[in-house]
A and B are shown apart, each in its own frame.
Chain A
Amino acid sequence: MYNILVCDDDKEIVKAIEIYLEKEGYKIYKAYNGKEALDIINKTELHLVILDIMMPEIDGISVAETVREDKAIPIIMLSAKSEDYDKIKGLNVGADDYITKPFNPMELVARVNSQIRRYTKLGSINAKEESDNIYKSGELIIDDSKKEVTVDGKNIKVTPTEYNILKFLTKNKGKVFSISQIYENVWEEESYGAENIIAVHIRHIREKIEINPREPKYLKVIWGIGYKIENI
């Protein structure tokens, strides 16, 4: 049983999040302003904090800063502010993720699960160090000996083609490859008009490994240049 603090000045939103997360088997602590949140954080052993930014008295940013002074619990920021500037600011003060309102409940649950898994299974995942047969970036792990892909500890089913593309990109994580480069490296032959097929495969991979394929964490698209696996 993991403990999660949900803090938002809108009671209905807190209630809705509670319903979703309780279904997943989490214990929920509720707070409606920054002060209450800090009280609970100090008194309770928590595994995750969900924080709204715009709150009366103490805002979410200040709460996050205070938490980060002595605690390493994951923080997910939840805000109506969707500007890049706001996201960067939130992540800079120590938040682990940033979700914009109005959010997709499924996405919220997925992100919470991901953060919890990462936080609680930190040791065991880290044990799986990169070796000849294992390629990883963040929580994306490819075990080449088992031909297995896991994200946040969850097994992902991919087709052999998708697997080959993913393996190639993860092996060379951080580097950008154009469609024809990917084709030539994976198929080891020259590409003739196969461009669209690669683009379609990449999209399918993204839909499988990303929580929100439109805002990918691992498989990034650099439009007009190519694709890469982010080095996390």
Chain B
Amino acid sequence: MKICGEKELLTNPLLKIISFLTLPIFLMIIAIDVIVIAYSIDNPEVRESTNFYDTDMFISSYMDEVTRISTNVNDEIENNFVYDEYGYIIEEDGENINNSTPVYVQDGEYRIYYQSNHIKKKFIYLVVDSEKKIAYTNIQQTEQTNSINELKQDLISENKYWSIADNNIQTNIERLSKENIVYNQDLQELQTFSENKEYYTAYDETVKNWDSSNDIGITSAVYYQMQELYGFSYTTLIVSMIIGIIELIYLIYSVGHSKEKEGISLTWIDKIPLEILTVIYFIMLFIETMLMASCVVILTVDVNLSLMLIVMSGYFTALNALYIAGTLLKRIKSNTIIANTICYRFLKWVGRKLSNLKNAIFTNLKISRKVGIYFAGIVIVSALLIGIFRDFGILLDIVFWIWCYYKIMKEVNKFKEIHDATEKIYKGDTNIKIDEHLYTGLLKELAMYINDIAGGFTNAVNESIKSERMKTELITNVSHDIKTPLTSIINYVDLLKQEDIKDEKAKEYIEVLDNKSQRLKKLIEDLVEASKASSGNIKITKEVLNVNELLNQITGEFEDKFEKRGLRIISKLPEEKVFIKADSRYLYRVLENVYSNVAKYAEENSRVYVDCVIENDDIAIYVKNISKDELNISADELMQRFVRGDKSRNTEGSGLGLSIAKSLTELQDGTFNIHLDGDLFKVAIKFKKV
């Protein structure tokens, strides 16, 4: 099924983030619901009973407390230990460990130990040992409660109390009365300790203090919480499961898709090798578990804060797991789950090395066999020497190895000689010849080949110089032959112009002839010059020139031509005089060509910028103008012979000007470059500063 806008749906970042952030919440709701339902099935009282004090949970936790108290007190009486309210020993054999004052009150012949003077407890008790005349209690000590009877009254006045004295149970908790047998087991255990002892206990649910010393509080909290949650746990479970599954499916499909890219886009996290990712994840999981565990510890101090923290850390744990699942999914989708592991990379590397080794041995079997034999020979000889001469053989081996080393180095040095010769050839000295007779085998062949290449190279260079010179000569000679008839053409056209011709058409034709013959003349002159300049067939005489003077002179020369087309020169020259070394005549030719180019092709009534700038060791001359025609051509093409920026070839000029300028500049050891930027035409000429 093709959903309309499937791609938009899969790449919607907002939708993805919302799904990603909410999915853990639904997962947690599902988890909590499952726990609640499971707990409710396990403890039917949560669903059925409405009064906590009628439940087995209350009864068993109450009896647990009683048993615990009896054990503790018994322990104290047996060992003469005195515990504080948290269960720590503060007095041993009547000796005060913490150097605090004794915490008992004398009531007749009884000593009453108050084990909790600070906080009012939920579960309170009084244990009286009639034999030893000791009483323990965790009831808060007040003015009114200083005798055992008063304490008893205090306990019985609580709404839930239970006491046993001389096997006589008194209680207002129905299920804990004598008739009930649920707690018989506990009671029997209690009775074994309770000779000469009386136990009075009570539970005061109105006390809000958190009492870590008893489980009843926690049990009641869980009971009420479960009961509350159970009411809507099925509804939320179903809703959460539906939304969660939809989100999960959506995330599975959409993970890795992005608006910017087709296919699966991977982030840097997705590129972490799988092993490292696994280690990182387990470390994070460990930290998260520790965090949750510490939240559980806080449970005994502050339930609400603890629960909140547990929920939060649970949320982040789930989020983290979801993210890791996402990157795994992306790896599977993009087929990198295996490729992006350290193991795989390592195996691949080993494979590559092995194949290299294989290539090294088998591609040139002749040589590898030879090297192998030499190597085996060295090993066998070394072993034989030791075998025959024993200890003395080691000395012989060392001598033998030194000899082998010398032999190898000799070959290596020969190789180095050939290398050095080749390097010289590479650097342009093509006249080098390697003496082939010094070498044997492969090295001899190598030397021979290199000699051949060097020879061919020399020939090629000479040939190309010769052909370039011949080309120039040819062009020069041909130009002489063309010039003679051209002279007649120009002269007779001129004579025709002087005739009194009435026919307007004839006049127009003569004008065309005149223009074209003049252009032909210019073309031939430029052609000869271009050919000479590019072949280096020009004698350059360099002298020190003042660039400021040169640019002023040229600007003066071209003033009229520029003015005719409304061009205004704006020149910026350095304050001080700058000097370069160049051939004055040919440098003028370079700039003349550039300026004529500007005069011909610049936009009418525009400005022409001529700047001279000192750039480190260079003097740069920049000529910038706006082209009147579109420059649909590259700078390189523009400098090639016979190419012009505009397509129209019927204007004046040969199209060789810039090519000549470039060649001439380079002959004078300068650089000539053209930059085109839209209609901006910029020439950069650079020379070394003097």
Contact = CB atoms under 8 A, between A and B. Distances in A.
A200 B558 CA distance: 8
Contact of A54 (B480, B492, B545): B480
A224 B549 contact: yes
A102 B521 contact: yes
B585 A223 contact: yes
B480 A80 contact: yes
Contacts of A10: 484-485, 487-488
Interface in A94-145: 100-103, 105
B545 A224 contact: yes
A19 to B, nearest CB: 6
A5 interface: no
B112 interface: no
A202 B558 CA distance: 12
B588 A223 contact: yes
B31 to A, nearest CB: 89
B486 interface: yes
A227 B550 CA distance: 11
B525 A82 contact: yes
B491 A196 contact: no
B101 to A, nearest CB: 108
A203 B584 CA distance: 18
Contact of B559 (A81, A196, A223): A196
A24 interface: no
Given A16-B491, A16-B492, A19-B495, A101 B552 contact: no
Contacts of A150: none
Contacts of B557: 199, 203
A54 B480 CA distance: 10
A222 interface: yes
Contact of B584 (A195, A200, A224): A224
A98 to B, nearest CB: 14
Interface in B474-533: 476, 479-481, 483-492, 494-495, 517, 521, 525, 528
A199 B560 CA distance: 11
Interface in B448-468: none
A198 B548 CA distance: 14
Contacts of A203: 556-557, 559-560
Nearest to B563: A200
A156 interface: no
A12 B552 contact: no
A221 B553 contact: yes
Given A10-B484, A102-B486, A225 B556 contact: no
B547 interface: yes
Contact of B483 (A101, A105, A198, A224): A101
B587 A224 contact: yes
Given A80-B484, A225-B546, A179 B492 contact: no
B550 A195 contact: no
Interface centre among B486, B547, B559, B582 (most CB of A within 10 A): B559
Nearest to A53: B480
A102 B553 contact: no
A175 B490 CA distance: 39
A135 B490 CA distance: 39
A202 B492 CA distance: 34
A102 B556 contact: no
A181 to B, nearest CB: 10
Contacts of A225: 543, 545-546, 549, 584
B265 interface: no
Contact of B495 (A16, A178, A224): A16
B488 A12 contact: yes
Contacts of A223: 545, 550, 553-554, 584-585, 587-588
B487 A199 contact: no
Interface in A1-24: 10, 12-13, 16-17, 19-20
Contacts of A16: 488, 491-492, 495
A164 to B, nearest CB: 17
B555 A199 contact: yes
Interface centre among A80, A223, A224 (most CB of B within 10 A): A224
Contacts of A54: 480
Interface residues of B, number: 40
B196 to A, nearest CB: 128
Contacts of A153: none
Contact of A196 (B484, B489, B555): B555
Contacts of A202: 556
A226 interface: yes
Nearest to A108: B491
B538 to A, nearest CB: 10
Contacts of A82: 525, 528
Interface residues of A, number: 33
A13 B487 contact: yes
A196 B552 contact: yes
Contacts of B588: 221, 223-224
A227 to B, nearest CB: 8
B552 A226 contact: no
A222 B556 contact: no
A102 B549 contact: no
B529 to A, nearest CB: 10
Interface string A209-224: 0000000000001111
Nearest to A19: B495
Interface string A75-90: 0000011110000000
Contacts of A83: 476
Interface centre among A20, A178, A195 (most CB of B within 10 A): A195
A13 B491 contact: yes
A19 B499 CA distance: 12
Nearest to A224: B545
B480 A102 contact: no
A151 B483 CA distance: 31
A224 B546 contact: yes
A230 B354 CA distance: 83
Interface centre among A102, A179, A222 (most CB of B within 10 A): A102
Nearest to A105: B494
Contacts of A196: 552, 555-556, 559
A159 to B, nearest CB: 15
Contacts of B546: 178, 224-225
A186 to B, nearest CB: 15
Interface in B565-590: 582, 584-585, 587-588
B490 to A, nearest CB: 5
Given A101-B483, A202-B556, A222 B584 contact: yes
Contact of A195 (B528, B552, B582): B552
Contact of B556 (A19, A101, A199, A224): A199
Given A102-B490, A222-B584, A199 B483 contact: no
A81 to B, nearest CB: 6
A203 B552 CA distance: 12
A224 B491 contact: no
A162 to B, nearest CB: 13
Nearest to A78: B487
6 A-B pairs closest in CB distance? A199-B556, A224-B545, A224-B550, A195-B552, A80-B483, A16-B491
10 contacts: A12-B492, A13-B491, A16-B492, A20-B491, A82-B525, A178-B546, A196-B555, A221-B588, A223-B584, A224-B549
Given A224-B550, A225-B546, 10 more contacts: A10-B484, A80-B479, A102-B483, A102-B489, A179-B553, A198-B552, A202-B556, A221-B553, A224-B553, A224-B582
